[in-house]
Structure 1
Amino acid sequence: MVAFLSAWPWENLGIFKYLLLGPLFGKAFYPIIHEDDQKPNWCLHILIICALRGYIYEQWTSYNNMLFLTRNRRILQQGVDFKQIDKEWDWDNFIILQALIGSLACYIFPFFHETLPLWNAKGLITLLILHIGVSEPLYYWVHRSFHGNYLFTNYHSLHHSSPVPQPFTAGNASFLEHLVLSIILGIPILGACLVGYGSISLIYGYVAVFDFLRALGHSNVEVVPHKMFGTIPFLRYLVYTPTYHSLHHSEMGTNFCLFMPLFDALGKTLNSKSWELQKKISLNADKNSKAPDFVFLAHVVDISSSMHVPFVFRSFSSLPFTMRLFLVPIWPVTFMVMLGMWAWSKTFLVTFYNLRGRLHQTWVVPRFGFQYFLPFATDGINMQIEQAILRADKLRVKVLSLAALNKNESLNGGGTLFVNKHPNLSVRVVHGNTLTAAVILNEIPKDVTEVFLSGATSKLGRAIALYLCRRKVRVLMLTLSTERFQKIQKEAPADCQSYLVQVTKYQAARNCKTWIVGKWITPREQRWAPSGAHFHQFVVPPVLQFRRDCTYGDLAAMRLPEDVQGLGSCEYTMDRGVVHACHAGGVVHFLEGWTHHEVGAIDVDRIDLVWNAALKHGLKPVSSSKKD
């Protein structure tokens, strides 16, 4: 049975919990519409403060997830996984609670019905006295009490269930805890107002600073310079640091203070490692962090999908990408950032996870999808990819895998350009297309005798055609180039060459129920497929699912092994824990310890080898993993 006041009253409302603020909106905007009411509108102030508080925590979380800036300042090196993100999904419950409490206070206390001054210096002094003399010791005593067996088990364990402290972790607590915190937050404000020293700036400022320090303490990034404590030693007792509070989460019998370690010192609960560890992390900020063993070199698809990263909206990036209305207002800002990225022209780290105790990272080339098709942009893009490869080589990365457009044949020959230019690379460059071909081929039923293949002379199309013809499957290869078709046909064994048939129009597939799409096709071209046809595809972006009487396969992808750790972001439109097959191909290359580059044309003889290696290491095709 759930303990009294441990669960939130509106926890089953989902997104509709924000309707609880509806009366506040009505009370805030009714006087604005009817200008005859000139009374102080504290409901509007409360709503503004709510927005400000959410913004503070959101910005702190964004900074925490800017790995390209914070990777050397991280306190705990593991990533935030999907389980923690889901557990902290309703982190903002306390903002709603305190908004409701604040609106109730406006009716109870008469000074809220009067016009408060903008600023009052006496109010600031009173507030500091009440905070240091009442709120800090009260929080310290209550916090220690919540670490007792009963209170911890039933109330406080939720807050400590997050393995990696994040700003959102500050809000992940039981209803009772935030009721108590609301009292502690309100004491200095109400105290200053009751003695007649209240002001608008005092209320806004205290709440903002309170949240800023709470978010700072729960940050997993050390931002406080150790030199500050060296210059003024007593400051270490007045201001806590992210490292200081992180030790409370790892060694729970220490560091209970709200913001001031002085009370831990007085209560003899000060962790002796607090400042030495903080100094160590601060000093390491200018040093290189641990080098990854594997890097997936991704690229941005478009401006909207560029917002699908943890340092924009953590919750949004933890779900498969889809266009949402809330992205529209920040589209212009993202466009300006895009221009800055072009000027910066350096790859940056966006996500990482651990697999078998080895670090895997995703770097992003700051180029958008449409740029890859601009002839004048080719040299610049290749230069950025080359710089990323050389950087990985310098860091002693084992394998670097290229995402879809970064290995475009017309761009760099599937990576051959870089391998030929730098023959002494220690990092293995991998396009991952061998596993992509294997995923597509293993989705095709074994009893299929004929397939229609568009994009037939591409790297993947060639490999698929040659593999299927060896299985005695008739392949209708859509291509206008007889020369390229004949070149591929000659690669097939002599007794299998007749299974490869050149076609030049979609009409040729009107009786074929297995379509393999490697070139984007319009709804009009899809009409030539017979009813009941299935569209397998390896084209970016995926084709429109126009035919209701046909079925459509997903892009080639695989689910990572179950022992992956710290993964909390979805790869574009893929489900949680699922990555594109070319990404998975690089992972397999690394896990197998293969020492060759996988660039250029696909070695058809290695398709089954790579497929079996992927299954051996616990990777699963998406179709199979959905059934499990």
Structure 2
Amino acid sequence: MAIAAPLSTWPWQNLGAFKYLLYGPFVSKVLYERFYEGNNSFSLCFHLLLLYVCRGLTYVFWNSYSNMLFLTRNRRILQQGVDFNQIDREWDWDNFLILQTFIAAMAGYYFPFLHDLPLFNFKGLLVAMLLHVGISEPLFYWLHRKFHEGYLFHHYHSLHHSASVTQSVTAGNATPLEHLILTAIIAIPIVGASVLGLGSGLLIYAYLLCFDFLRSMGHSNIEIIPHQLFDAFPLLRYIIYTPTYHSLHHTNPDTNFCLFMPLFDALGNTLNSKSWQLHKEISLNSRKNSRVPDFVFLAHIVDVSSCMHVQFTLRTLTSLPYRFRFFLVPFWPIALTSLILMWLWSKTFLVTFYYLRGRLHQTWAVPRFGFQYFLPFAADGINKQIENAILRADRIGVKVISLAALNKNEALNGGGKLFVDKHPNLRVRVVHGNTLTAAVILNEIPKDVEEVFLTGATSKLGRAIALYLCRKKIRVLMLTLSADRFQMIQKEAPEEYQSYLVQVTKYQAAQSCKTWIVGKWITYKEQNWAPKGTHFHQFVVPPILSFRRDCTYGDLAAMRLPEDVEGLGCCEYTMERGVVHACHAGGVVHSLEGWSHHEVGAIDVDRIDLVWKAALQHGLRPVSSPSSSSLLS
């Protein structure tokens, strides 16, 4: 068993979220001083906690900004996305903040004069700047180069360079040894000014937050500094680095070693010759449209809580399937305000993207609450937003746009048919993806099934499932009160199979049927009509609750993307990593196959097998385990 190099792993790395309990003594000290000693002044422990929060938020806010793709997509330096592997490696990026908090606490214990620093001292700020430029910058530059050699790089610095695309939190992803050295470098200006009697509270806050701000900016992968600034003041390019400048260090590790000042790379002959030209190109391109996606999935918001499950909130949480978390409750008003602003702005926004077979796939979102789709007076406004998204996709050259669940609601726009009829010359193909959704559901049904009970039987999916099953000589009990709608569907079936479609009007009719296909939400009382051992297949949104312990429940129709998908680091709502809703996958298949037709309106039952085989050929796989003798096998 290999032994890890000294100081290459964190002592609390196995604690998970419990590592934050290490702050317990600091919190206890502050509460004790405030409520038991009646001390209303701000103690060292209070400032250490406040600094931790402020410094952590600096990295989080920069990370959020860099992932606001609807604002920054034209400013991205590297176009690849951040995948799940990188997110997992950088999960504990904030370990260095815990380390530095404890070091600061010990410094405060051994150097009491740090407790009595004045609020402000202008001379101290000047001295700290001189110490930073004269000592911290060259020392970091020299040590950084050393960490790119042999043993030090292999055992320590390679972790930091494991990120394929840097983000702000990547700055903190390093080993304890590196952060101990970095802590010493940070401390030089602060301690130096304080020893000279010029330290101040503002100096500590300003220097640390400025330090974190610049590190976050450099790793953000978003270029924000206009090239005109360097054109006007050429010497400035040696005083402050840019995100482009630092990104070159991660693509070419033998160049651009500086902390924040390229001057030292110029003096050390390690300055990348492409630094200024690449910066100018990216700055100029920020005014242009980025690469046009081949495929767009037009999603929608479900509720205020789930809307926070996007990459520009907390990247780690969005890499996990969505579930309600209590610690997000305080942020609910912020999320609601953001939603209202987006709603008033009435524009779709880019949420995430990934690459598949070299093609760019993006997810756009309509800023509408889920309940709004069921308000009659809101229909025109929602359709207008969907229409604008389709026209925008058509205008920029998108090939396929797929509509998420409520965006293709039959009552809302006829499964997208409204837009195709209104704009017959669309170049972008509009797809509801329900053909593959039907195939995924049918794939779960064994061949030996003789009878199924179907709710939501006259819906778009219910109709297609019923017509497909009757052709397999499976008796379908179609729950519907409308005899006319049932007869219309029955007449679509070949005459020799029409007898396999049976209209029922009550749940009691399924008392002996163990295969239920649920397309309409059913309550505990209605589920109780199912016999023991029933399996509930479902295509209802939201999914039904698992009331029956003596029955089994299927997941919503979904498919796993191929293994070679790149840059995917966000889970789609409640889906597992790498899994998307079947309608999303249906649009992916449509794009990969290059089909030229629109998939809107009623599902073409004859295409179910064709779409299913195409999905499997492109490497997509169903999430649920099908029977070895499923209908589609």
CA contact (8 A) 2:350 2:365 kept: yes
Pairwise CA distance, 1:36: 4.9
The CA deviation at 1:37 is 5.1
Letter in 2 for 1:57: Y
Consecutive unaligned residues of structure 2, counting only runs of 5 or more, are 629-633
Distance (whole Å) between structure 1 residues aligned to residue 18 and residue 99 of structure 2:
14
Q: What residue is the counterpart of 2:80 in the other structure?
A: 78
> What corresponds to 1:232 in structure 2?
233
Structure 1 residues 369 and 264: CA distance shift in structure 2, 3 A: same
Asked whether the equivalents of residues 311 and 318 of structure 2 are also in contact (C-alpha less than 8 Å), the reply is yes
- 1:541 is matched with which residue? 542
Q: 1:426 to 1:401 in 2, by over 3 A?
A: same
Q: CA deviation at 1:206?
A: 0.7
2:290 maps to which residue? 289
Any idea what SS the aligned residue of 2:402 has? strand
Partner of 2:426: 425
Q: Is 1:25 the counterpart of 2:27 in the alignment?
A: yes
Residue 308 of structure 2 aligns to which amino acid in structure 1? M
* Contact map agreement 1:116 1:199 (CA 8 A) in 2: yes
Residues 331-390 of structure 1, C-alpha deviation per residue, up to 9 Å, x if partnerless? Answer: 111111121111100111110000000100001111111010010111111111111111
1:220 matched to which residue of 2?
Answer: 221
Q: What amino acid does structure 2 have at the position aligned with 1:72?
A: N
In 2: Cα distance, 1:326 partner to 1:27 partner: 23
- How far has the Cα of 1:266 moved from its partner? 0.9
Shift of 1:625: 9.9
2-structure distance, mates of 1:160, 1:292: 29
Q: Partner of 1:376 in structure 2?
A: 377
The amino acid of 2:561's aligned partner reads L
Partner of 1:527: 528
State the match for 1:35 in structure 2.
37
Q: Distance in 2 between matches of 1:430 and 1:595?
A: 11
User: Counterpart of 1:76 in structure 2: which amino acid?
Assistant: L
Tell me if structure 2 keeps the 8 A contact 1:319–1:575: yes
TM-score normalised over the length of structure 1: 0.98
Give the 5 Å matches for 1:174-189. 174-189=175-190
Q: How many residue pairs end up in the alignment?
A: 626
Task: Specify the alignment match of 1:514 in structure 2.
Answer: 515
Match of 2:159 in 1: 158
- Give the C-alpha shift of residue 29 in structure 1: 2.2
Residue of structure 2 equivalent to 1:107: 109
CA distance in 2, matches of 1:334, 1:43: 31
Quote the RMSD (CA, aligned, Å): 1.3
| Cα 1:129/1:308, change in 2 over 3 Å | same
Matched residue type, 2:414: G
Q: Report if the CA contact (8 A) 1:352-1:359 is conserved.
A: yes
Following superposition, the deviation at residue 130 of structure 1 comes to 0.9
Aligned 8 A contact 1:21 1:100 in 2: no
C-alpha deviation, 1:531, in angstroms: 1.1
Q: Determine the C-alpha separation between the residues in 1 that align with 2:627 and 2:405.
A: 24
Deviation, structure 1 residue 40: 6.0
Give secondary structure in 2 for the equivalent of 1:346: coil
Q: What's the offset of the Cα at 1:45? A: 0.3
CA separation of 1:625 and 1:178: change in aligned 2, threshold 3 A: farther
- In 1, Cα distance between the equivalents of 2:395 and 2:383? 18
Segments of structure 1 that go 5 or more residues without pairing to the other structure are none
- Provide the C-alpha distance between the structure 2 equivalents of 1:549 and 1:225, rounded to a whole number of angstroms: 64
How far the C-alpha of 1:217 sits from its partner, in A, is: 0.6
Alpha-carbon deviations, 1:158-213, whole Å to 9, x = none?
A: 00000001001000001100010011111111111111111111111111000000
5 Å matches for 1:111-122?
Answer: 111-113=113-115, 115-122=116-123
**Paired position in structure 1 for 2:598:** 597
Matches within 5 A, 1:451-466: 451-466=452-467
Equivalent in 68, 71, 93 of residue 69 of structure 1 = 71
Which residue number in structure 1 is paired with residue 10 of structure 2?
Answer: 8
Asked if residue 349 in structure 1 is aligned to residue 365 in structure 2, the reply is no
* Rounded Cα–Cα distance in structure 1 between residues aligned with 2:346 and 2:204: 44
Cross-structure match for 2:208: 207
2:57 maps to: 55
Aligned equivalent of 1:91, options 93, 102, 107: 93
1:121-520 correspondence runs (5 A):
121-520=122-521
3-state DSSP of counterpart to 1:282: helix
- Whole-angstrom distance in 1 between the partners of 2:390 and 2:112: 67
Do 1:40 and 1:112's aligned partners in 2 also have CA atoms closer than 8 Å?
no
For residue 402 of structure 1, what is the amino acid of its counterpart?
Answer: L
Structure 1 CA distance for aligned equivalents of residues 597 and 447 of structure 2: 31
* Equivalence for 1:621: 622
Q: CA deviation at 1:34?
A: 2.1
Matched letter for residue 88 of structure 1: E
Q: Which amino acid aligns with 2:553?
A: Y
- CA distance in 1 between counterparts of 2:624 and 2:522 reads 23
Q: CA deviation at 1:32?
A: 0.9
Counterparts of 2:33 and 2:485, CA distance in 1: 74
Letter in 2 for 1:457: T
* SS of equivalent to 2:547: coil
CA distance in 2: counterparts of 1:482 and 1:340, whole angstroms: 45
Change (3 A) 1:612 1:231: same
Instruction: Summarize deviations over 1:607-626 as a string: whole Å, max 9, x none.
Output: 01100110010000002499
Aligned equivalents of 1:34 and 1:260: distance in 2? 48
Structure 1 residue 445, shift from structure 2 partner: 1.4
Amino acid at match of 1:102: A
For the residue of structure 1 that corresponds to 2:255, the secondary structure is coil
Q: Which amino acid aligns with 1:237?
A: Y
Write the distance in 1 (CA, Å) between the matches of 2:469 and 2:409. 23
Partner Cα separation in structure 1 for residue 258 and residue 466 of structure 2: 67
Q: Deviations over 1:243-301 (max 9, x none)?
A: 00000000101110111111111111111111110011000111111100000011111
Q: Decide whether the 8 Å contact of 2:240 with 2:260 is kept in 1.
A: yes
1:29–1:44 CA contact under 8 A, matched in 2: no
- Asked whether the equivalents of residues 445 and 627 of structure 2 are also in contact (C-alpha less than 8 Å), the reply is no
Q: Which amino acid aligns with 1:53?
A: R
User: Deviation string for 1:55-82 (max 9, x for gaps)?
Assistant: 0000000000000000000000000000
